[in-house]
Amino acid sequence: MAFSSTTINSSLIGANLNSSDATALFARGTTVVTTNGSRFEYVEASGTFTTGYMVMVRPGGTAFVYTTAMMTQGIAGVMGQDMAWVQGLINQSEFGWVAKQGRDLYVLCTGTLTAASTVGVAVASTGRLRSQPAGEAGSTLIGVYLTTSASVATASVAVATITWPAPVARLTAT
């Protein structure tokens, strides 16, 4: 599955949002904005990530598997770590672009998630999205709006609009 609904609006020669590179073509942490307002960051993958996979991006530009434990232990959103979604395949130790915000982005889901549902989206222990009631405690997200549905027990890819995603727990902590 290739992300192709937009064009890079920055002047980076050779930037391809759909591919990964064995050697770095850009500095880790480089960002681009696309014509539809999506925002991507160039990262090094700490594992192999497929389309829609949710990752945590550290300030140095390294992407790690995103898990519920990161949210419930207060790791998410601290010290400059951000959520992002892989839009293609990035192999371990390779470099590629991950989506931090935008429209028509791929997200990996588990279970039944209905487009435009009033039920919140949560992070499963696998780093995939699932419905809030089925998610682990403290794993509810804001800023992720599904525009297509997902309804299988195994991993499936849905399309979403992502606007500065954050764990609800981080926003309500005192």
For the chain, the domains span 20-102, 105-172
What pLDDT is stored for residue 6 in this prediction? 57
Using H for helix, E for strand and C for coil, what is the string for 62-125? EEEECCHHHHHCCCCCCCCCEEEEECCCECCCCEEEEEEEEEEEEEEEEEEECCCCCCCEEECC
Mean pLDDT by 10 residues, the chain (174 residues): 56 81 94 89 95 90 82 56 90 96 91 76 78 67 86 81 79 52
